[in-house]
Structure formats: structure tokens, C-alpha cells
């Protein structure tokens, strides 16, 4: 675990983080294994982990369900059903806003899917083990939605993997009976301020991730 107050990056780069995560996946996941990078923040990590493992890689597209005034209350991935926070119990006054939030998430997934995969469907997951991969998890919902989608797509067993995750996220994932593979568990619920030593610019990361995803095709 990584204590609160750490200021230096956890990893010198996303490539290094992916390589380290690949070593842990090698020890804990049986072949045949497919890695799915959660867009956009898990793509570079997953691509480098797959290279270290010499296994197939693809991207999986998800979006948070965000209700105004409440933040993220769940997520959706690909065409699977929504995964929502069990503590979120919407009243009748919130149901309309929740439906709108789900519609926005599905529209965002369609747009993101075109950017990252074009018209190509996600690779076949039948009779494989799958690890859905992200960079730093400070919320469990997109990862859980991606894991749920991978199960719906026929994966034998699904793991959730990340270069870093907070302790509350780890507990949420375990409560859903998924195994989390993560070299760095962060005690601070807000996560590490700078997990990777390379650029933290979200726009630059997104652009790199799109390029990496298109190369995977």
C-alpha cells in the first residue's frame, strides 16, 4: 500500500506501469488471456501490459452515469446494462434525471467507440480469460461496468486490473466478487496526485490512447 502524502510519481511512465502490471497479470491470470484497456485512461497501460505478456489487446468503451448534484452514481460499458451504486436509491423526483444521465452515457459510448475502434467490433472474448485494465481507479464504476460487459461478451473469467487504485475502490470491487490485480493500493480516497511521471495532460493522453487503440486493430 502507498501512504497518504506521497508526492513523487508511483511509476516513471505509463509504459513502466503497464510492464509492472503485466508481471502481476502473468502470475495470477491463466492463459488464454485478453487485455481490454478502458478508454481513455487504461489504454496505454493495457497496451504495454499486453506487450509484456505477449497476449492480445483491445479497448473497451465505457462512460460514467453522472446525475447533476450527485456526481457519478454508476457506469455503462459497451452495450451492456448499467452498473449502479447500491447505496444510490433514487426517489421519484430523481428518476427522470437518472434516465437522462443513462441516455447521455450511451450516446457518449457510441461517439467514443467510433473514435477508438471505428466500425470494428470488440475482439471475440469467447473461451478466454479477460482483464479489464485502467490507470488509476478512484471510482469503481467504469471498471465494474467493463467487467460486466466482458462477462456478457462470453469471457470465461474476468479480472479487474489497474496500475493504482484506492482502498475504497478495492473494497467495492471485492464486494462485487471480482479479483482486483493492482501493484499500488492508495490509502487516500482521492488517489495519488501524480501516479505517472510522464505527461498528465488529459487531452494528450486521450490522443495517444486513440492512436494506440487504432494500432491494435
Do the domain assignments include residue 114? no
Please check whether residue 74 lies inside any domain of the structure: no
Residue 166 domain flag: yes
Provide the 3-class DSSP secondary structure of residue 48: helix
What confidence tens digit (pLDDT) does each residue in 35-94 have? 999 999 999 999 999 999 999 999 999 999 999 888 999 999 999 999 999 998 888 888
CATH number for the domain that contains residue 137: 3.40.50.2020
* Residue whose C-alpha cell reads 456526481 in the numeric block: 71
Dihedral angle sign, alpha carbons of residues 10, 134, 173, 132: negative
What is the tens place of the pLDDT at every residue in 84-127?
A: 999 988 888 888 999 999 999 999 999 999 999 999 999 999 99
201 domain residue, yes or no:
yes
Nearest to 38 by CA among 156, 142, 129, 113: 142
Residues 105 and 169: their CA atoms lie apart, in Å, by 21
* Alpha-carbon gap, residue 16 to 28, rounded angstroms: 19
- The pTM of this model reads 0.94
Residue 44 is part of which domain span? Answer: 14-61+122-216
Q: Are 112 and 61 in contact (CB under 8 A)?
A: yes
Amino acid at each position: 500500500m502507498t501512504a497518504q502524502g506521497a508526492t513523487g510519481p508511483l511509476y516513471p511512465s505509463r509504459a513502466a506501469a503497464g510492464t509492472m502490471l503485466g508481471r502481476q497479470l502473468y502470475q495470477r491470470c491463466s492463459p488464454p488471456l485478453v487485455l481490454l484497456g478502458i478508454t481513455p485512461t487504461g489504454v496505454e497501460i493495457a497496451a504495454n501490459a499486453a506487450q509484456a505478456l505477449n497476449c492480445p489487446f483491445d479497448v473497451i468503451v465505457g462512460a460514467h452515469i453522472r446525475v447533476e448534484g450527485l456526481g457519478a452514481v454508476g457506469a455503462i460499458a459497451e452495450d451492456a446494462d448499467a452498473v449502479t451504486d447500491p447505496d444510490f436509491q433514487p426517489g421519484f423526483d430523481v428518476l427522470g434525471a437518472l434516465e437522462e444521465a443513462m441516455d447521455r452515457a450511451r450516446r457518449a459510448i457510441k461517439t467514443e467507440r467510433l473514435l477508438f475502434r471505428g466500425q470494428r467490433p470488440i475482439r471475440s472474448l469467447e473461451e478466454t480469460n479477460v482483464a479489464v485494465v485502467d490507470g488509476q481507479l478512484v471510482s469503481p464504476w467504469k471498471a465494474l461496468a467493463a467487467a460486466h460487459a466482458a462477462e456478457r461478451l462470453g469471457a470465461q473469467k474476468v479480472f479487474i486490473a489497474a496500475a493504482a487504485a484506492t482502498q475504497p475502490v478495492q473494497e467495492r470491487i471485492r464486494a462485487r466478487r471480482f479479483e482486483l490485480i493492482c501493484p499500488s493500493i492508495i490509502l487516500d480516497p482521492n488517489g495519488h496526485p501524480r501516479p505517472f511521471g510522464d505527461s498528465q495532460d488529459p487531452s494528450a493522453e486521450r490522443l495517444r490512447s486513440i492512436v494506440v487503440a487504432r494500432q491494435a486493430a
